A and B are shown apart, each in its own frame.
Chain A
Amino acid sequence: MKRMYLLLLWLLPFIMLPIYSQAISQSELRGSSRYVQFKSVADYKVYYVDMESITPITATEGHRRITVTVYALVDGEDYIAAVKMEYDYQLDRSLRQLLSKHDVLKSQGQDSPYISVWRDKQANIGITCRILGVKGYTLSGNSIAELYKIDNVYKDISELSFKGNRYKMLNAIYKQAYGIYFDDEMSSKLL
């Protein structure tokens, strides 16, 4: 019996450690520089990007791809959604690239106003994403198994647009991975 007890005691850290390391609380998200917050003024939703989770992965030519864990919180909700995301950046859609194409067209005498570049970027920001996995926590950091409870917390995380702090977040993730903002990317090969 004693042997059994000692064996359990020995096994306990191996069982608890993985659970503990994945759990995250609201205070941890707020208190560590590892998690960078993105929230627009009128937004009721806050995102924290785990900067240490940002990992570049292989992508097709002309693209760059990153996986990252993003934590989502919503005012009035009691849960945190930890969403593992994969972002795909299409290099010829960076703003610098679009402006460069605009300059070429203009030098060729085509009527191409700057606002058309803006509208083009709004129509297709050049970034897509998909959800790889979701975990749920209470605000105090306990894991929850009932993922339906966090549907509302992360439901629009895949909606990307050329707007506000959420777009800024996409640039910040890219910079952490490649040392340059996505919209500053320029490759002469792409012209």
Chain B
Amino acid sequence: MIKRFLILFIMMLSITMTAGAISLQELQSSPNFKLVSYKEYPSETSSYVERFYSFIDLNSIRIVEYNPPKYTLQCTNYMVFDYTAGPEIKESEMTIYYDLNYSLATLIHANREKQPNASLVDVIETAERESGLVIKSKPLNTYQLNGDIWYPENRSNHLDREWKGSIDRSRGYQVIYDNADALFKAVYLQHFDDILIQ
């Protein structure tokens, strides 16, 4: 009796331990994971192609604030670094604060309304200074590509810390911008920068 109970206990424990783990295969095959970004980096010295993926979990999306023109959404984000230097999956809780006063549609429309003295140079300046997007990223877990958990002592980088900052429209922020935009579109069915506030 005790033996059976022990086997059952070990089985339950193993299920609990692996329930939260995620592999690259699951991210690619399950429809609730939306692939937002994908990049390939061919190696100059070998045939190995390094790959980067960013997914958002559509089942994890939560509307934190709905106060137009300000919105806050949250979801789980998976960034996959299939790199020779250390392949890993970074799971994080991503919270995005949206201010539609700074969407491109709003800025361009406001500029057109200002005719005849309006210049798109003003739109460029404002859109560069203020995107209307702020991210708070809270790291959750790090996995190996097969879903095994990485332990903190294995490796750590800047993604292992909670951080908050504005997202700009520059190329350097494109992955984060695309995550934020995909999250917005999943909920409100339109791109963030296409929403017009009059």
Contacts and interface: CB of A to CB of B under 8 A. Distances in A.
Interface stretch (A43-51, A137-145, A162-170): A162-170
B169 interface: yes
B194 interface: yes
Interface string A53-96: 00000000000000000000000000000000000000000011
B108 A115 contact: no
A114 B121 contact: no
A37 interface: no
Contacts of A184: 119-121
A113 B194 contact: yes
Contacts of B108: 99, 114
A163 B128 contact: yes
B182 to A, nearest CB: 11
Given A113-B193, A114-B194, A118-B169, A95 B128 contact: no
B130 interface: no
A119 B194 CA distance: 14
Interface residues of B, number: 22
Interface in B101-129: 103-105, 108, 119-121, 123-125, 127-128
Contacts of A95: 120, 123-124
B96 to A, nearest CB: 15
Contact of B105 (A114, A164, A167, A181): A114
Contact of A181 (B103, B121, B169, B177): B121
A163 B104 CA distance: 16
A115 B120 contact: no
